Amino acid sequence: MRSIRYQQIAEALRERALAASPGSVLPSEAELSQEFKASRVTVRRALELVRDEGLIAARQGFGWFVAIEPLRQRLERLGTIEAQLEGSGMHAGRRIVEFEFVAAPAHVAAVLGAGRVLRVKRVNLADGDPFAVVTVWCPAELGQKLSMADVEQHPFYELVDRELRGATQTIGADSAESVEAALLGVPVGSPLLRCRRVTTDTDGHPVLMSEHLFPAHRTEFVVDLPHDEPSSMPTGLRLVE
């Protein structure tokens, strides 16, 4: 029996999804239309057929990707998402892309009170696939004894010569620029979750500042809210002007 065109395309997409890593981004509908020499309507029907089988998924503003269970981080204590990944049976890794002492950008200097900082930029990996681009700034005097091998193998929390009290984390939205898109393997302009964290010592002085960029299609943050007076809005939510 002769198969319908969208079914032929769906079979090709099915094979592609099964061979690709979870979270991998598929070509856009326009690119698939050109590749298969079919209309956008036909390509969309094929994509929806494979989606209904649970092999691929789509997010508004991002596009189609191989289905994956989102990586989750619980925001209840000072810790690393890598430790949580290891606890769930995934292998966490890091790849350092920048390690240098630089003049502190104005927004970093304002927080850390330091004119010169160690800047480390890395890609975080889950089972070998990138899931975050992280930039950490540390006052130069605290980073002098650190090496690239140190920050590749250990979190800054274990390396800085200060007793830490905790951190303040701000979560917002962003879009992938060319450098981050290449590192994460997502299209330029894709939605990202942006977390900015300031870590303080026991005296309340900021000692680390970091920015974490996560692809929005594969990341979730879970916050435990203790019972309190009923509220229609999460604690800490504020409007961005």
What are the pLDDT digits (tens) for 104-122? 999 999 999 999 999 999 9
The pLDDT value recorded for residue 234 is: 53
Q: Are 94 and 55 in a shared domain?
A: no
Range ranked top by mean pLDDT from 92-101, 149-158, 169-178? 92-101
The pLDDT value recorded for residue 231 is: 46
Rounded Cα distance between 51 and 58, Å, is: 8
Q: Whose CA is closest to 125, among 171, 164, 86?
A: 86
Q: Are 178 and 147 in a shared domain?
A: yes
Q: Are 173 and 205 in a shared domain?
A: yes
The pLDDT value recorded for residue 95 is: 93
Q: Are 79 and 196 in a shared domain?
A: yes
Q: Of 111-115, 160-164, 234-238, which gets the smallest average pLDDT?
A: 234-238
Rounded to the nearest 10°, the torsion over CA 194, 145, 112, 157 is 50
Q: Are 170 and 62 in a shared domain?
A: no
Q: What mean pLDDT value characterizes the chain? A: 83
Rounded Cα distance between 47 and 102, Å, is: 47
57 occurs within a structural domain: yes
Q: Residue 104 belongs to a domain with what CATH number?
A: 3.40.1410.10
237 occurs within a structural domain: no
| Residues forming beta bridges with residue 64, ordered by sequence position | 58
- DSSP-derived 3-state class of residue 34: helix
Q: Are 107 and 153 in a shared domain?
A: yes
Q: What are phi and psi of 159, to 5 degrees?
A: -105, -35
CB 209 within 8 A of CB 137: yes
234 occurs within a structural domain: no
Q: Are 129 and 94 in a shared domain?
A: yes
Q: Are 213 and 185 in a shared domain?
A: yes
| DSSP code at position 25 | B
191 occurs within a structural domain: yes
Domain count of the fold of the chain: 2
Greater pLDDT, 241 or 169: 169
233 occurs within a structural domain: no
Name the token pair of 236: 């800490």
**Percentages (nearest 5) of helix, strand, coil residues in the chain:** 30, 35, 35
Which amino acid, residue 150?
D
Q: What are phi and psi of 194, to 5 degrees?
A: -115, 120
Q: Are 79 and 110 in a shared domain?
A: yes
Tens digits of residue pLDDT in 3-62: 688 899 999 999 998 888 777 888 889 999 999 999 999 999 999 999 888 888 887 767
Q: Are 75 and 188 in a shared domain?
A: yes
* Residue 107: Cβ-neighbour burial (10 angstroms; 0-12, 13-18, 19+): exposed
Question: In terms of residue numbers, what domain contains 131?
Answer: 71-222
Judge whether residue 80 has pLDDT over 70: no
Q: Whose CA is closest to 209, among 96, 84, 121?
A: 121
Q: Residue 36 belongs to a domain with what CATH number?
A: 1.10.10.10
Q: Are 85 and 149 in a shared domain?
A: yes
